[in-house]
Each structure stands twice: as structure tokens, then as C-alpha cells.
Amino acid sequence: MTKEEIKEKIERLRKEINYHNYRYYVLNDPVISDEEYDRLFRELVELEEKFPEFQSSDSPTKRVGHEPQSEFRPFKHKEAMFSLQDARNEDEIKEFDKRIKRLLHLPMDKDIEYMAEPKIDGLSVEIVYEKGVYKRAGTRGDGVTGEDVTLNVKTIKEVPLYLIENSKIPVPERIDVRGEVYMLIEDFKKLNEENLKRGEKTFANPRNAASGSLRQLDPRITAKRKLKFFAWGIGFYEGLKFETQEEILRALKSFGFPVNPNIKKCKNIQEVIEFYEKMKEEREKFPYEIDGIVCKVNSLRLQEELGFTIRAPRWAIAGKFPAKEVTAQIKEVTFQVGRTGTITPVAIFDPTPVGGVIVQRATLHNFDEIKRMDVRVGDHVFLRRAGDVIPEVVKVIKEKRTGNEKPILPPDRCPVCSGDVVKEGAYFKCISIDCPAKLKASIRHFTSKKAMDIEGIGSKLIEQLVDKKMVKSIADIYYLEYKDWMKLERMADKSVRNILEAIEKSKKTTLERFIYALGIPLIGERGAQVLARRFGSLERLKDVKYVELVAIPEIGPEMAESVVRFFRNESNLQTIKRLLDAGITFEEKKIKRGFFTGKTVVFTGALKGFTREKASELVEEQGGRVSNTVSRNTDFVIVGENPGSKYKKALEYKIKILSEEEFIKKLQEGE
């Protein structure tokens, strides 16, 4: 055979083996014997060894065998990978349906079609395919950036290395497939048994086992863990057109992905609720753990119109099941002070197994909840893990009372610093800015990489600074001198000078980093970015009104209230003043009126003269809004090279389209 014929044979063998993997691992319906499969595999191995110039990382022979990695690299999602808002019961699922109809201006008796599926208790990942070939994979992370787990996902035999080609749905130029990595309950139990025999760490539940297995630096360990995969959606894609979520799932199945067989198309929300009840009843019959259902609007056009909040899509919801409950007796109640000063009552029990983990503490939430349940020290209660994660007390078993139970009273003083406390809604809060309980966490957040990025100030140093009373507020970090740092344990000249240099460097920052560093409740990194770009200066933000904030699409009512309350607090203002007096400066970008003021803009395709981030920033500087999705509310779509499906959607909706050159001219009109 010629070299070209050998190359063609190797590629043919790879695709053939990939197809038989699909028949065996996904369909559970093999069409060749194990002996025939082994013969094909051996033939491919021999050819690749004999002709190393034709070896490829996407070959089925390369699923396992890579050397351990030193660390996980960042994985950037081309389109944000959002988590879902939770619904805890039928009423909240119904409210989700009503909210959608209000947003779409539809009558309440109008039926909306949904796709519902079991919510696998696993780890979400995104897998990138280019021209039908597996390229890379990453975890969800914060929705924008996850961890690159390309080599580990590759070991999962249900994940195709090549997309199956068929006449009905062509293989796209690129498609980012999203799904859940999970572990069967049976395999989880076997793994724990093996680990116990070896004296190694056991996992609390299958989800933790799947997550821990996928995040192994050595992919050969991952390969031994028998991980499984279900595809449930897509992110970025080009070269295809879909109208519904149902079509997406059908396409994924045809490409060779396992798709959950229990997915149901529901013609209205009542059918979704019936599906929710059915899955809840059959929960224990599944070979893997499910903790609820996922409900999505089936129409992609409606999905685009509904859009996203900062944290979640408006067109999907996770209907969570009630957690499994056990009974336990409250031995005592302690008080826990959080980073924002919120005092949370915590019930203490004897060690009690709940949902696969041993629990000794459970939140009582707040004193309104204590009053509602009439819970007391000494009570026998039903205990569960909320969302199968956070232990909480559900109900008091009053029939077991003896009369010796004691009421739970709110604290008169902060249990950590003995400072004053105030009642704010259902919660009691410590208002002392010197409180060590929240100060340590506040400094950790303030100095973190995404905030002020002061390298070298770790948890152990923060413990010393606060415990030795060298720091009583986050601002004090900027007033410590060389001699102060030298008093701390394990600090030498070089390390102190590095910290002082990092502190000095941090003084030149951006407004959005500074806002994020302040730790305003409910305002994360994206929220800080929105506030900085919308208001442009700290002085403007200090005086912002609630109505101004809720008018911003990305800012909800609770976030708006949190921002207003934060900047009305005199202690917070004093701390901010001391920070600025220490020399912190940042560019305060003021909103300048221009062509894009008040307009909603969507970008698609590659721009020659700008990064996507820079182009978005220029629009937002004029008071415009940049969206990821095209809807009827979009004013302009800016089209670069090789535009995707957003361009077609813009044509369909008859939205004004601007080229990059026209975009530049419109920007200059506003100058």
C-alpha cells in the first residue's frame, strides 16, 4: 500500500471503531462481536506504531495513556455556561411558567411547550468539536472560565472522538456540546470499597466521586473510575440551524452522544409537573442519582426573547426534589457569624448520617424560622440536606417533647466580638466593623486575585493580622509598615518587601475590581462590572437610587437593595474613604452620550480591529447594552467575519445590521 492508502485506512479504522463504541456504550446494541472489535483495535494500534507520522491525539487508541499534568489550565467558554435557577416545589414551577408568560406578554391560559428531563446529580462539562473531531473539554467553573479537562473527558468511552456523519444532519464546522459527567451508584459503591481496602479516602456520594475522578491530574486514574456521560445541550455552534431544544437533542443523539431516554416533551406546565411527580416517585429506581428535573422552553426563538440574567437563563429552571429526611435530637444551638455580619443559628446534633454524609450541624436559617417552627434545644426534629447539600432542620416532632426543652433566644451581643447587633428583616447582624469573624473573610476576599489582587497575603497571614489586632478593617492593610510585617511569624526581608510591593501595585486598579473587592452582598464579578460601566465613578455609585438600579436588566430587586443599603452605611463609607486616602486610584470612566446610548447591541463573527471585550466596552461607554442573544428587543447586530446563527436570526427579525466599518463610524459620531 502507498502512504496515502495507509493514511486512509487508519482514518477509516478510527471512524469504524468510534461507531462501534457508540453501538456498544451508548446504544447498548453492538453489531460486531468482542473478538471482531479487538481485531480492528489491534490492527489500528499496529498501523499507528508502524507509521508514527499518522498518529493523532484524537485516535481511539489515545483515550488513555497520557502522562500526569502538573495543573489544570483555564478553559474559556465561547458562550457563557450558566447554572439554573432552582424551584423547590410545584408552586415554584408554576410561578416559573407565569413569569415566562409575563415576560413574553402572553395570556396566562396560553400553553407553552417545554422539554423536561431528569436532573443528573453530576458535574457539567462542555466539549468542543471542530469539523466533527473532539478537540477539548472543560468544566463549567464560574460560567465564563472553567478548568481544562480535555484528557480526562477523553477517557469516558461514551464521549465520541468523532461525530457520526449522517445524511439528515450534517456535521457542523464547530459545535460545543454540553452535558453531565456522572457515576453509577453501583460503581460508586465499588470505588469506595476498593478505597477502603487500600486505606484511601472515600467519597460522600456519587457526585463527589465523579467530580473528584474528573479532576485527577493523571488521566489514567480517571480512566479507571468508570465515568458516564449524558449530553443535554449545546453552547456555541456554526453550520447548523435549530428551531427547538428537541431538535438539538435529536441532533446530539444522531452525532453519537448518549441522551437521557427519560426526556419528555410537555405541551404545558401541568405536564411538566406530572413529569416532576413521576420522576420523584421513581427516583430510587434509577441506576444513578437524580436530584430533580430540568425544564426548558422548547422554542429557541422564545429562549432568545427571554434571554438571561447575570446568573441564569430565564427560559429554564431546575425543579429540585425534597431531600431525604432523617430524625435527630438538637443537643445545643450555637451562633455563626458570616462575612457580612449575619448571625445564623446552628443546631448541633450527635453524628447523624444524612443522604450519604455524616452531619453534626444544621442551619436554623433565622429567628423568624425558629419562631415559625417553634424549635427548641432538646427537640427531636426532621433533618435533611437542602438541595442534597446544606443540612437544615425541616420540622419539629412535638409528640416527642418531655417538657425539658429550652427556647432558642436571639443573641444580645455578637457571639464573636461582643459588639452590638441589629435586626434586619428576619436576620440579626453584627454591625461592628472590627468583628474578627467577618474581618478575616473580608480581607481574604478583598486581597483575592479577582479583587485587589494582592499576592502573598494568604489565610495564615490574615489570621495573624486579625488575631494580633494589627488589622481592624480592610483599609488597615495599606497602613502597615515594613516593621509591622516583620513581627509576623515566618516573615523574612524578601517576603515582606514582596508584599509591600504587591500592596503598592494594587493601588492602581479599575473601578469594577474595587467594587467587587468591597464585598457588597449579592454583587459578584459580573455585577461589579455592570455597575462600573453603567455609572462610571464611585461618587455616582454612592448616590445611586434604587429605581436607577432595578432599571438595569442585569440587576434584580435584591441586588439593587443590597447596593443602596451598602452605600448608606456610615462605617462602609469611612472604610472606603480610608482606602482612597491610602492612595487607591482607578480610572473613572464617565458615560458619554453617543449613537449607542440606550441601544441593545449583539456582536457576531470575528472583528478585525477589536477584541470582543473591547468592542463591548466601547458600546457600554456610550451607555449601550451588549447582549449575547438576538431578540426582537435587539437594536443592532454588529457583523464580523464568519458570522454565526445570530446573523441569520437578525435577518429573520429584520434587525438593523452594521458592518465593522459602519460600527466604527457610529462610534465616532458620538465623540
Tell me the catalytic residues. Answer: 119
The SS3 assignment for 30 reads coil
Q: Give the position of cell 443540612.
A: 391
Q: How far is CA 659 from the centre of its chain?
A: 33
Asked if residue 102 lies in contact with residue 168, where contact means CB atoms within 8 angstroms, the answer is: no
418/425 Cα distance (integer angstroms): 21
The SS3 assignment for 97 reads helix
Burial (CB count <10 Å: 0-12, 13-18, 19+), residue 139: buried
Q: How many CA atoms lie within 13 A of 132 on its CB side?
A: 15
441/463 Cα distance (integer angstroms): 10
Give strand pairing partners of 228: 182
341/319 Cα distance (integer angstroms): 31
The SS3 assignment for 238 reads strand
Q: Give the position of cell 442573544.
A: 629
Return the amino acid letter for 183.
M
Burial (CB count <10 Å: 0-12, 13-18, 19+), residue 176: buried
Asked if residue 429 lies in contact with residue 341, where contact means CB atoms within 8 angstroms, the answer is: yes
Give strand pairing partners of 352: 359
Asked if residue 408 lies in contact with residue 364, where contact means CB atoms within 8 angstroms, the answer is: yes
Q: How many CA atoms lie within 13 A of 257 on its CB side?
A: 28
DSSP 8-class letter at 22: I
Give strand pairing partners of 382: 327, 395
